[in-house]
Amino acid sequence: MLYVNKNAVNFTQLGCSKQVKEKLVVVGNCYNESTAVDILFQANNTQLPLINICHNTNRDETIYAHHYIIGAGLNPYEVSNNRPSFKEGQFYTTISANDAYSQSSQKNQVAYLVGSQSLAEKYINTSRSFYFARGHLAPDGDFVHIYEQNATYYYINVAPQWQAINNGNWKALESALRTYAKSKNTNLEVWTGGKDVLKLDDVNGNQVEIYLARDSKGKLSLPAPELSWKVLRDPSRNASVAVFMINNPHLTKIPSRLIVCPDVCSQISWVTWDVKNVEKGYTYCCKMDSLKNSLPYLPEMSKEQLLT
């Protein structure tokens, strides 16, 4: 029971007159002359960051997002049936990110890059979930309150990810992380991003990089990453792991250049997935001390044990 002005008030009687609203605040620079942005809430003179973003405004590309999963808060957490639209904020000044993610725009853009409309229609095949989803970096389900969940719906907090993968092994990973945090009653520190640029064969059999947008001058931006990745850290155990997922459901064989470390997924017990399934997202896991310089913007974690 809660007391307001010495009167007992039931929690079911409480509510907010209006929704708490987030802000996007540029807080400095980050990797490779990119822009550090906090998605945060303002409480009087105090700023409460929810998600830290490193975003390259020149390429309309987010390098990584950093957030926490609060295990104790997820059981239970608030659920809303109203999924908000994604917002551009003060970014994407020369393109429309919203237009770039439309399936018709994707098909036209891929046709432009590979030099063939018919080939583009093979790549962008909605019946097989082969199209680019707005792949949340810090997903709404990782947060407790509806106002926090709504704050994740910014384009700087997504990366182009094939829907078959987003709804496949990536979804399994996100769900397993929340279950882990709840069951262990622990807080997880999470970094999520994309690495390198996805390449597809053009009409002549040459590999071309895939960008979802080009501006009025023909400049390409909003690259689809070749690898989607998450780094997960449980500070209470001094344990961490990096998970890489190949963001290409069209591969018939796995190029060695896409494997950045010895795979230790077989030692990870807290997630059930189909790691060798290319259409769901071919997946491998890394000990932090084996990453070398693959993710140079992360803090030092090489001495931590594996998060099994």
pLDDT for 101: 99
Query: What pLDDT does residue 46 have?
Result: 92
In a domain, 2, yes or no: no
Give the CATH number, domain containing residue 131. Answer: 3.40.570.10
pLDDT value of residue 12: 61
Angle at 89 between CA 210 and CA 140, to 5 degrees: 80
Amino acid in position 56:
N
Measured CA to CA, the distance from residue 206 to residue 249 in angstroms comes to 18
Separation CA 99–CA 193 (nearest Å): 22
Q: Confirm whether 83 is domain-assigned.
A: yes
The single residue of 55, 136, 145, 250 carrying the catalytic annotation is: 136
Q: Count CB atoms within 10 A of the CB of residue 235.
A: 13
136 is catalytic: yes
User: Would you say residue 12 lies in a domain?
Assistant: no
Range of the domain at 276: 19-306
195 in a structural domain: yes
Does residue 145 form part of some domain?
Answer: yes
Give how many domains the chain has, as a whole number.
Answer: 1
Per-residue model confidence as pLDDT tens digits over 204-256 = 999 999 999 999 999 999 999 999 999 999 999 999 999 999 999 999 999 99
Please give the Cα distance from 167 to 136 (Å, whole number): 11
Tell me whether residue 157 is annotated as binding.
Answer: no
150 is a domain residue:
yes
* Low pLDDT (below 50) residues in the chain: none
Query: Is 56 inside a domain boundary?
Result: yes
Torsion of CA 44, 50, 52, 56, to 10 degrees: -90
- Could you tell me if residue 166 is inside a domain? yes
